[in-house]
Structure 1
Amino acid sequence: MALEHTAEADHPLDPLSADEIESAYEILTGEREIGDSSLCIKIELAEPTKDALAAYDDGGDAPDRRARIVIRDGEERKTIETVVSLGDETVVSWEHVEGAQPSIAIEEFIACEETVKENSEWQAALERRGVEDTDRAMVDPWSVGHEFVPEGVDRSKRLAHGLTFLRPSEDVGDEGYAKPVTGVHTFVDLDRMEVVKVVDYGPPDEDEPFPPEGMAYREGDIDLREDLTAYNVDQPDGPSWSVEGQKLEWQGWHMRVGWTQREGLVLYDIGYEDDGEVRSIIDRASCAEMSVPYGTTDINDRFKNAMDVGEYNIGRLAKSLTNGCDCLGHMHYWDAVMNTAGGEANVLENAICLHEEDNGTLWERSDWRTGSDEVRRRRRLVVSFVAAVGNYDYIFNWYFYQDASMEVEVRLTGIDSVSAVGPDEDPSGYGELVAPQLNGPIHQHFFNFRLDANVDDGPNTLYRVENQQVPAGPDGLDPMGDADDRTHNPGGNAFYAKREKLASEEAAKELIDPLKGRYWQVVNPAEENRLGKSTGYRLMPGGNVEAAVQPDSSVMKRSGFIRYHLWATPFREDERYPSGRYPNQHPGGAGLPAWTAADRDLEQEDLVLWYTLGVNHVTRPEDWPILPVQVYSFKLQPVNFFEESPAIDVPPQHAIEGQDVPGHGESCGADADDD
């Protein structure tokens, strides 16, 4: 199977290269004193403004390449955000962000575990549970949030909340999640890298502090089924895409592929080629934040509320993808270039995977009168990455289809976050037993996708569209009678698609309503198709769930974006993340709730849609030891964007393959009378 790798490209939106990352850090440290104990949390491209990009697209000079750097000065307990000009080799801005805690670095995760394992109070807590070999323990540092910090711990410190698990041996490859050390909570000051408090609520059962069973899922530990035959994807003529640096073209689609440590995969300049013209749809798209609140009242789990994008940098937790495992067929990979805490470049190979896959029928027409039929197979392009966030693995797939629609999908897998319970305890409701004495607490996953819309170069306007019933009239229904002045719906069957303009931010705060077929449509009032209709794209919700936490809870304050499935704002350069720039340990209220309080006008604006995709997870034993992927998505579809179906010119299989398709007469998609 063929593999490809990308060379560096020269475009203002390209991620920083390894040389640029290291140069940016050298420029910063050469000009400013950042402290010997400081950590370089993040070095990313400071993306050019829209005005600068527009000037460049019109033939102007390329904007200055700049790097945004976030530094944590642990000694001074300060967070510094600075911008460095790579062209001028100078620091152009320097800001001490008062009270901000940046996302937790991988190096801090590693040091935090070592710090906890050296602590005598923590060791004593394990010894009370009969654990003599504490080297077998593993410690997962969780973000502390804000409200669930114990008394006596200074919230202004940079903190992590360590949860402990016990591996069956000292081999780091052995999983410990089947043996949670429930009751032990260790709080670490990451700036000083010291334990500030160990809380021990005691084991769920003194005699049996650990669940009795381990976990097995690796290839060598399982008797594998033997009745599965090989399935190979063969593209002898290569793929249908064209890749040049970060630029990607496929079946009419045009876009640029980017990356940030915070968001992972970012797609820029998404457009579709129509009659030789690339028409704009989305300027920038990414998963901008996550929130994973747990619903149990149990003191050992109720604090859990990971914000994996803003608190952990989900891009930094991405994995290197492998042929035949994460992707299948002919692949193209992009590497992700990030930084270490020391300001050095760190290259994650194969972070982004590109491939095509068959996806069933695209369209079909069978005429019983003539015996003819036409069938087209649907192929889709997949741009994806996978992040391993502690116990969970998240797969982000961006699908592009031949009918000019696109789909954003998240797949959840990995290991449930679990805690131990007593032998006779049933947590049913707030959690479910996934194995003997092993509780999987109820929780939800929310993913907020930021879609910087730009349909036909804007400006755009937003509408809600949903089914509307028609009243039958004061005298009731008369299906056999004639319509008269009293009713527009004599048979009771009438309904229509009601379109309502959402002209302000407050009006655009919406929940899904699948019972009414609700969706949202972004239109360009200045552009029309041949039928006189404004061109547009619609956002079609898929499966979703309402946030179950209380409106005044700490979770809702800190992750306010989960209150609604749809938000819309006018574009602002500095409004990038739905819970604000620095959600780690923030008390809440930042981001979308703060911005939309102004109730700004949305009519004929540069619109940004923020869609919250929610997942409800009531655990079950079938989730254990590894959760089979749970799949959730939403779609974007053209509406009046084209004159007719953009998929009508997709060739049948025999025309692509140059040969007849066995088992379907002469060929698939050819008239029966053709010779």
Structure 2
Amino acid sequence: MTITDLDTPHGHHEHGDPQHGKDAEAAQSHPVGSLTAAEFATVRDVVTAGADWNATTRFAYVGLWEPHKREVLAWQDGTGPLPDRQARVMLLDMETGRSTDNIVSITGRTVLTTSVLDGSAGQLPVLLAEFDAIAGIVAEDPRWVAALAARGTTIDEVVVVPLSAGHYDYPEEVGRRIVRVLAFRQDYPEDHPWAHPVDGLSAYVDTASRTITRLIDVGTLDIPAEGGNFDDPAVQGAPLTTLKPIVISQPEGPSFTVDGEWVSWANWKFQVGFDTREGLVLRQLSFTDAGEERPIIYRASINEMLVPYGDPSPVRFWQNYFDTGEYLFGRFTNSLALGCDCVGEIKYFDAVLADELGNPFTIKNGICMHEEDVGTLWKHGDMFTGSNEVRRQRRLVISFFTTVGNYDYGFYWYLSLDGTIECEAKLTGILFTSAYPGIGEPIGETAIEGDYAYASEVAPGLGAPYHQHLFSARLDMMVDGLSNAVDEIDGVRLPMGPGNPHGNAFTKKTTRLTGEASSGRLADASVARAWHIVNTEKTNRLGRPTGYVLQPEQSPTLMADPGSSIAKRAEFATKHLFVTQYDPAEQFAAGDFVHQNPGGDGITKYIAGDRPIDGEDIVLWHTFGPTHFPRIEDWPVMPVDYAKFTLKPYGFFGANPAMNVPANEPVSHCSHGHDGAAHEHTHH
């Protein structure tokens, strides 16, 4: 990833070094600096010169292979050498399906290791080239053509949506790369096909042999006719004319400084990184307290995103998507635009990735960073002294947006003046649709007697199956150092009796998590459950452990049956929290190779050894996200829905760390008008 410095509209300018070469050099000089275009080119040249490379080989993934945390910290402290720059490279031969996982030394320009995948423990991520080939493959099969004709449409009138296959023990799929295909009619080039699902029909496709291995045709349902073109002014309606402009301005520029990928803001310091699979990565978040730079998180990312659907229809039961591990959602990152995606004094970061031929390419303005006012930080008017003090809260926002098929996801990390860290997912885009059966209409061999139980009707005859969005945040913690532990805190109601004669007492219970195997925990709103990450060697001025508290949302975990295929493949999503001992090879909650993985990987494998997690270098895996029963109001485009978690200091500081935030200067637009007069406005 490199950093841009572009003039922005309306007099807004980015701040930072405009020299890409200098930024690339800065990134490369740090062990976990993002891979530069030159490094991607080196990786390509090393790989394509090898004996395994041929004309049908493609790069399925290229990313930084990070050195061990202790090696990085030793280099930073001046007690260790600069670690070797390495890349992880996954290669797929599209003709044979041969898949390899490689580690390449960029420094030494050589392939260090190569592992050949046999497919039994999962496949490499789905390639764009495979997606692009699907329409031609199914169009050549007369069974597919006939099934469309039976529904009154043709291959020229439909678009096909290739989707990850999951794992269902079909003998003909063993060792083969499979995608499953659904169709949608598109009435004209500008027509959004999501409004016209061609239901009751699905094809299972071997992408290497270019054949349909199974065609599922369980009967025709009417193709919904009403359009869903949210970008059509006729659909949007007359513009709302009563909204007045909001101007966000920092006349003296932003408060942050940027040096390469390193950012300093208020008391915060951290590194901004990017990965094809995970998207935005934040590293080494620290807070300067009384002149001491105190670490909190070594590495934070959204390492997996599962979207499981709840429709058991014969053509939809397999819809369970791992948008990170199967699709590499970082490569679909949007180029952000001022005033549309980000508002105010913006610092943009470019994302530099490798395409499927190994060539570097740039997503301009892939990451947005800015400050925003978020209301009151602290306030009190004292009845005894007459003191009346208020301070404004502001936060630094680091975000990116990615479009994965029909959905658009924004991921926002917030750093606040009082030491709070938040991660918020914003969900919008278009619902994945189905035909909504009428009463008495058959689905397979079953007639529908009432409203369909597994989807909402969002337009006439148009269904939106129930589903979940389950994000996994990997939080490599480092609260005041490497010796951390997790305490589960529950509120406890106490019965009336001795010591509590009036029944008003309640207290808390603390349970220390000691081993990985028992670290899987569920949130519980009835007891205000939270998890405290504490340092087992450092104490605050009151003699208690320094720490941060993870405050979860109270949303369901995976709704699928525990015996289901998806539950085996995504054990991480069956709990809100797992804790593991740090291992640099354990990066992904569902495992390294998620596509067609049969299960038992990722978290399931990581906790099997039951390593100790009390006073160790630990990683938290936190699952959060909404369960979506779609509304009519979610169509034809969905207003943003939100999901988040919060990390707050708990005993980390000796007092309120935001006491020294200065009061705002009074400005004219804060004063109240009189006799109905409008407020004055100051424009900068």
Q: TM-score, normalised by structure 1?
A: 0.91
3-state SS of the aligned residue for 1:551?
A: coil
Query: Which residue does the alignment assign to 2:8?
Result: none
Query: Which residue does the alignment assign to 1:430?
Result: 454
Out of 531, 541, 546, the position equivalent to 1:535 is 546
Out of 63, 83, 91, the position equivalent to 2:83 is 63
Query: Which residue does the alignment assign to 1:142?
Result: 163
Is residue 571 from structure 1 mapped to residue 582 from structure 2 by the alignment?
yes
3-state SS of the aligned residue for 2:156?
A: helix
**1:118 shift after superposition:** 4.4
Query: Which residue does the alignment assign to 1:673?
Result: none
Q: Which amino acid aligns with 2:642?
A: V
- 1:236, 1:88 → 2: CA distance? 48
- 2:208, 2:292 → 1: CA distance? 53
Asked if 2 retains the 8 angstrom alpha-carbon contact of 1:80 and 1:97, the reply is yes
Cα distance per residue 1:454-475 (max 9 Å; x no partner): 11112111101111122323xx
- 2:209, 2:351 → 1: CA distance? 30
**1:550 shift after superposition:** 0.8
Out of 648, 658, 662, the position equivalent to 2:671 is 662
- 2:291, 2:400 → 1: CA distance? 31
Cα distance per residue 1:573-609 (max 9 Å; x no partner): 2111111110110110111112212222111100110
- 1:599, 1:32 → 2: CA distance? 41
Aligned positions of 1:277-288 closer than 5 A: 277-288=292-303
- 1:558, 1:104 → 2: CA distance? 17
Q: 1:496 to 1:177 in 2, by over 3 A?
A: same
Asked if 1 retains the 8 angstrom alpha-carbon contact of 2:523 and 2:554, the reply is no
3-state SS of the aligned residue for 2:100?
A: strand
Asked if 2 retains the 8 angstrom alpha-carbon contact of 1:654 and 1:660, the reply is no
Q: 1:153 to 1:201 in 2, by over 3 A?
A: farther
3-state SS of the aligned residue for 1:456?
A: coil
Aligned positions of 1:599-618 closer than 5 A: 599-618=610-629
Q: 1:193 to 1:358 in 2, by over 3 A?
A: farther
Aligned positions of 1:202-351 closer than 5 A: 202-204=219-221, 209-218=222-231, 220-221=233-234, 222-223=236-237, 224-351=239-366
- 1:457, 1:517 → 2: CA distance? 27
- 1:152, 1:545 → 2: CA distance? 34
Query: Which residue does the alignment assign to 2:518?
Result: 507
Query: Which residue does the alignment assign to 2:206?
Result: 189
**1:640 shift after superposition:** 1.0
3-state SS of the aligned residue for 2:583?
A: coil
**1:122 shift after superposition:** 2.2
Cα distance per residue 1:208-248 (max 9 Å; x no partner): x2112111211634222222221121111111111111111
Asked if 1 retains the 8 angstrom alpha-carbon contact of 2:309 and 2:319, the reply is yes
Query: Which residue does the alignment assign to 1:200?
Result: 217
Q: 1:529 to 1:265 in 2, by over 3 A?
A: same
Query: Which residue does the alignment assign to 2:562?
Result: 551
- 1:157, 1:660 → 2: CA distance? 65
Asked if 1 retains the 8 angstrom alpha-carbon contact of 2:437 and 2:452, the reply is no
Q: Which amino acid aligns with 2:174?
A: R
Out of 607, 613, 638, the position equivalent to 1:596 is 607
Is residue 13 from structure 1 mapped to residue 35 from structure 2 by the alignment?
no
- 2:599, 2:52 → 1: CA distance? 31
- 1:495, 1:664 → 2: CA distance? 48
**1:327 shift after superposition:** 1.0
3-state SS of the aligned residue for 2:194?
A: coil
Q: TM-score, normalised by structure 2?
A: 0.90
Query: Which residue does the alignment assign to 2:174?
Result: 155
3-state SS of the aligned residue for 1:3?
A: coil
Cα distance per residue 1:98-122 (max 9 Å; x no partner): 3241111222222223433444332
**1:305 shift after superposition:** 0.4
Q: 1:429 to 1:372 in 2, by over 3 A?
A: farther
- 1:630, 1:603 → 2: CA distance? 36
Gaps of 5+ in 1: 474-486, 666-675
Q: Which amino acid aligns with 2:303?
A: A
Cα distance per residue 1:24-60 (max 9 Å; x no partner): 1111221332232111111111111223212211224
Q: 1:244 to 1:160 in 2, by over 3 A?
A: same
**1:633 shift after superposition:** 0.7
Q: 1:556 to 1:285 in 2, by over 3 A?
A: same
Aligned positions of 1:36-75 closer than 5 A: 36-59=55-78, 60-75=80-95
How many percent of aligned residue pairs carry the same amino acid?
38
**1:661 shift after superposition:** 4.3
3-state SS of the aligned residue for 1:457?
A: coil
Q: Which amino acid aligns with 1:446?
A: L
Asked if 1 retains the 8 angstrom alpha-carbon contact of 2:557 and 2:623, the reply is no
Query: Which residue does the alignment assign to 1:668?
Result: none
Asked if 2 retains the 8 angstrom alpha-carbon contact of 1:654 and 1:661, the reply is no
Q: 1:414 to 1:427 in 2, by over 3 A?
A: farther
- 2:330, 2:539 → 1: CA distance? 39
- 1:509, 1:249 → 2: CA distance? 35
Asked if 1 retains the 8 angstrom alpha-carbon contact of 2:549 and 2:649, the reply is yes
Q: 1:333 to 1:509 in 2, by over 3 A?
A: same
Asked if 2 retains the 8 angstrom alpha-carbon contact of 1:566 and 1:612, the reply is yes
**1:129 shift after superposition:** 1.5
Cα distance per residue 1:161-186 (max 9 Å; x no partner): 111111121x2x43100000112212
- 2:505, 2:554 → 1: CA distance? 27
Gaps of 5+ in 2: 1-11, 442-449, 675-684
Cα distance per residue 1:627-657 (max 9 Å; x no partner): 11111111001111111111111112217x7
- 2:337, 2:137 → 1: CA distance? 33
Asked if 1 retains the 8 angstrom alpha-carbon contact of 2:475 and 2:621, the reply is yes
The number of aligned residues is 641
Cα distance per residue 1:258-292 (max 9 Å; x no partner): 11111111111111111222111111111111211
